Amino acid sequence: MNLAVRYYSRGGNTRKIAEAIAEAVGVEAKTVSEPLSGDVDVLFLGSAPYAFDVDEEVKKFIRGIDVSVGKVVNFSTSAAVKSTRKYVEKLLAEKKIPLAKEEFSCRGAFAMLHRGRPNESDQRAAADFARKILS
Ligand SMILES: Cc1cc2nc3c(=O)[nH]c(=O)nc-3n(C[C@H](O)[C@H](O)[C@H](O)COP(=O)(O)O)c2cc1C
């Protein structure tokens, strides 16, 4: 099975989750600045909301996908919204790329909120989630 992990992280919160997922599934976590180099069965795609949307880099990455992707598994860190799912699902639908109903999301520190998150427990939960997706 071909797997890939891509993420966008301004402050490092989403990167921590990306790295936990990547280690759990045995691939390298790369930023969305690195296009997919070949077909993948499962793409773990990580992002965070900034002012009620994902960064333009994430949109650019999705729009630029030119290989076959079996499904995307969304993961995100956020301070208030549940996840970034609603921000990426339309873009994926435009590309006819299936979005898995399962996703991983947790709190990410922002200003005085959610200090220390994601923490080790969040990272463990992300790793468990990723292993379960592949089982
Ligand atoms: C400029 C800015 C805008 C943000 N807007 C939102 C938002 O609209 N909704 C939300 O839930 N969190 C918001 N956050 C919180 C981030 O999504 C959260 O801290 C996330 O973990 C950041 O991930 P990163 O460290 O990977 O960039 C915002 C953070 C920043 C810095």
Neighbour-count burial of 71, counting CB atoms closer than 10 A to its CB (0-12 exposed, 13-18 middle, 19+ buried): middle
User: Cα of 44 to ligand 1 centre, how many Å?
Assistant: 19
Structural domains for the chain? 3-134 (3.40.50.360)
pLDDT in tens, 3-39: 999 999 999 999 999 999 999 999 999 999 999 999 9
For residue 49, the CA-to-ligand 1 centroid distance in Å is 5
> In the chain, pLDDT over 90 holds for what percent of residues?
100
Which protein residue's CA is at the shortest distance from atom 15 of ligand 1?
79
pTM for the model stands at 0.98
Mutate which of 8, 31, 110, 114 for ligand 1 pocket (most atoms within 8 A of beta carbon): 110
- 42-66 mean pLDDT: 98
- Express each pLDDT in 86-118 by its tens digit: 999 999 999 999 999 999 999 999 999 999 999
Q: Is 77 exposed, middle or buried (0-12, 13-18, 19+ CB in 10 A)?
A: buried
100 lines ligand 1 (CB under 6 A): no
